Amino acid sequence: MSKRVVIGTHNKKKGVELAEMLGPYGLEVATLDDFPTALDVVEDGDTFAANARLKATQQAVHLGEWVLADDSGIEIDALKGAPGIYSARFAGEQATDEDNNRLLLEKLGDLPPEKRGARYYCHVTLANPTGKVRAESHATCRGIIRREPVGANGFGYDPLFEVREYHRTFGELGPAVKRALSHRSRAMRAIVPKLVALISA
C-alpha cells in the first residue's frame, strides 16, 4: 500500500523543496495542488506554531490524509520581530515577494549591517487523517538583511537574507546549500524520522 504524505502548501517551490527531502524514504509525496477540493485554511493563529497546526489538522480531516504543514516567516530584530507571522502579506493581502521585499527595505532604511539582524523561523506540524497532531518541530536560521536583493534562487525574502557564514544571500546560494542550512530544512530534518516511523507503522 502506498505510504503518502500531503505537504500542506500550494507553493510549488516549497513543495519541491520538501518532496526532495522525503523522497529517499519511499514515501509518496503530494501537495495541495493534487487535491482540487483542498481547503483554504484561515491562518488566524497568533504564532507560527498555531498556524502550522491549523493548516495540518484541518486539511488532514478534510482530505482524510496524513498532512505535513509548516508556517514560517522572517523576524527582523530592528522591527521587534516583524513581520513574523505576517511575512507573506507584509505589504498587503495580495502582496508579491517583490512588494514585501520593497517594504522591508523601506522600513530598514539606512540602518548599518550590525543593526540589520534577522532570523527565519519555521514550525512544522504533522497530523494524521483524523486530525490529531502526531509530531512537531521548529528551527531557525540567522542572518542579516542586505540593502538590495541579490540572486534569483529561492522565494520570499531569500534575495535579501544573507547567511553570515557564507556572506551570500539564499538567493545566491542555490537550492543545495539552502537545503543544508535553511530554517525549513532544519525543522524538516528534525521531524522526518518521526514522520517516517508513524506513516510506515
Within 111-182, residue ranges assigned H as helices are 170-173, 175-181
Domain spanning 4-200: CATH 3.90.950.10: yes
Delimit the domains of the chain by residue range. 4-200
Q: Give this prediction's pTM.
A: 0.91
120-141 pLDDT, tens digit each: 999 999 999 999 999 999 999 9
Q: Which amino acid is at 23?
A: G
Check 71, 77, 97, 110 and give the catalytic one. 71
Q: Is 123 annotated as a binding residue?
A: no
**Which position has the higher pLDDT, 66 or 20?**
66
Gap between the Cα atoms of 142 and 77, Å rounded: 11
Cell matching residue 32: 495541495
Q: Is 15 annotated as a binding residue?
A: no
Q: What's the rounded mean pLDDT across residues 98-114?
A: 97
The yes-or-no answer on residue 71 being catalytic is: yes
Q: Closest Cα partner for 6 from 73, 51, 60, 45?
A: 60
Residue 88 has pLDDT above 90, yes or no: yes
Q: Is 167 annotated as a binding residue?
A: no
